[in-house]
Amino acid sequence: MIMSNEFSMQARMIQALGQDMELVPATQFGAFAMKSLPPANSSTVHVEINNNRTGMYCLLKPTSHPTGENFFFNFTKFIT
């Protein structure tokens, strides 16, 4: 976890896959979570690689949005 007076960031590692989708003895980043500080109810961002590792998902939870809704993005179609 990375902490500062302005934000915190956490990363999660997963076991890497080779070209033939077999597990290899290496790790790669699997997800990131970030939050601005303070206050405790600040906006958050979560980025995670999908299960078949062909893309990413991004969940944005802004606290300043008027309706309070969350935003979900699927970046699978952009990765080849």
Which pLDDT tens digits describe the chain residue by residue (80 residues)? 666 777 788 999 999 988 888 999 999 999 999 887 766 667 788 899 888 787 888 888 876 666 666 777 776 654 44
Domain that holds residue 64: 2-78
* DSSP symbol at 76: G
pTM over 0.75: no
- Position 15, amino acid: Q
Tell me if 14 sits within 8 A of 30, measured CB to CB: yes
Q: Domain count of the chain? A: 1
Cα–Cα distance for residue pair 32/18, rounded to 1 Å: 22
